[in-house]
Amino acid sequence: MEVIICENTQQIAAKAAEAIAVLLKSKPRAVIGLATGSSPLSLYDQLAAMYQAGDISFAQAKAFMLDEYIGLPPDHPEGYRNVIEREIASRVDFAPGAVQGPDFQAPDLAKACVEYDAAIKAAGGIDLQILGIGSDGHIAFNEPGSSLSSRTRIKTLLPQTVADNARFFDGDEAAVPKHVMTQGLGTIMEARHLVLMAMGSGKAEAIRQIVEGPVSAMWPGSIMQFHPHATVLVDPAAGAKLALADYYRFADAHKPSWESL
Ligand code: F6R
């Protein structure tokens, strides 16, 4: 696992955007995993700017979303499909239908979850997966206690996550759906490169636990310690509780110029 303590959100976004740009140049048909929430928003701004400048194209690429709420009307602005459309898909040149998410309107949601994993596999798997982290250590919506080998499935959110996400629903916790469809930890671990972005002191304990704590279903993101190519990008506040912070800074300062993320 590579941990990089960046100066600020812009630097985190720039590093993640650069990794996607390098991928798209070497593999125009790349499959990218997209996260929702506030953490990747500055990354999506940078990708849109790079596309506008003619530096990158998603025309041949595909994307898969991490997760989706169950129970919101299809046109709800906070439905993750709509968020992804607004924040990134509509701002770059993905082909129609190239961005997929769990089918939250399917008559059989459990079957739709199985089909979603199959669709990722049929696309060749995810090359680079963008991740955020919940204050309880969740990645996608794999809440504490999630099976470390779980597949895409329906989960119930923790009250902590409902409270965290109420900010997207005018602070109204009652308006936040309690159920979601989410890629499983086993699904996420099959992506070839994981890039996690975390900012702010509210993420510091989760970052400490998933990077330096024991691998445990109680801190689901800790499964990333088993991934052969995982990058954790944090700002100083999110990295404040890391025991090896000085080492991560030393390693980054001495990173060979030929080595990308
Ligand atoms: C969203 C997702 C979640 C968020 C996490 C952090 O697709 O998978 O795991 O990444 O809840 O959310 P923010 O970035 O809003 O702090």
Q: What is the pLDDT of residues 35-82, one digit of tens each?
A: 999 999 999 999 999 999 999 999 999 999 999 999 999 999 999 999
- Give the integer Cα–Cα distance in Å for 62 and 38: 22
Decide if 136 is catalytic: yes
**In a domain? residue 77:** yes
Q: Decide: 158 and 222 in contact? Cβ < 8 Å.
A: no
- CATH number of domain containing 190: 3.40.50.1360
**In a domain? residue 85:** yes
pLDDT band with cut points at 50, 70 and 90 for residue 236: very high
Decide if 138 is catalytic: yes
Q: Which residues contact 181 (CB under 8 A, 6 or more apart)?
A: 67, 68, 70, 102, 103, 104, 109, 112, 113, 116, 152, 153, 154, 155
User: Which residues' Cβ are closer than 6 Å to ligand 1?
Assistant: 35-39, 66-67, 132-134, 138-141
**In a domain? residue 1:** no
**In a domain? residue 241:** no
- State residue 3's pLDDT score: 98
**In a domain? residue 249:** no
Q: Which atom of ligand 1 is nearest to the CA of 34?
A: 7
Question: What percent of the chain clears pLDDT 90, i.e. is strictly above it?
Answer: 98
| Phi/psi-derived region of residue 97, left when phi > 0, alpha when psi is between -120 and 50, beta in every other case | left
**In a domain? residue 252:** no
Q: Which of 67, 68, 117, 127 is catalytic?
A: 67
Decide if 143 is catalytic: yes
Decide if 254 is catalytic: no
The pTM of the full predicted model, rounded to 2 decimals, is: 0.98
Domain that holds residue 17: 9-124+134-233
Question: From atom 10 of ligand 1, which residue's Cα is the shortest distance away?
Answer: 132
- CA 65 – ligand 1 centroid, Å: 12
What is the CA angle 85-59-79, rounded to 5? Answer: 10
**In a domain? residue 258:** no
How many CB atoms neighbour CB 209 within 10 A? Answer: 20
Q: Which of 87, 117, 127, 143 is catalytic?
A: 143
What's the structural domain count of the chain?
A: 1
**In a domain? residue 240:** no
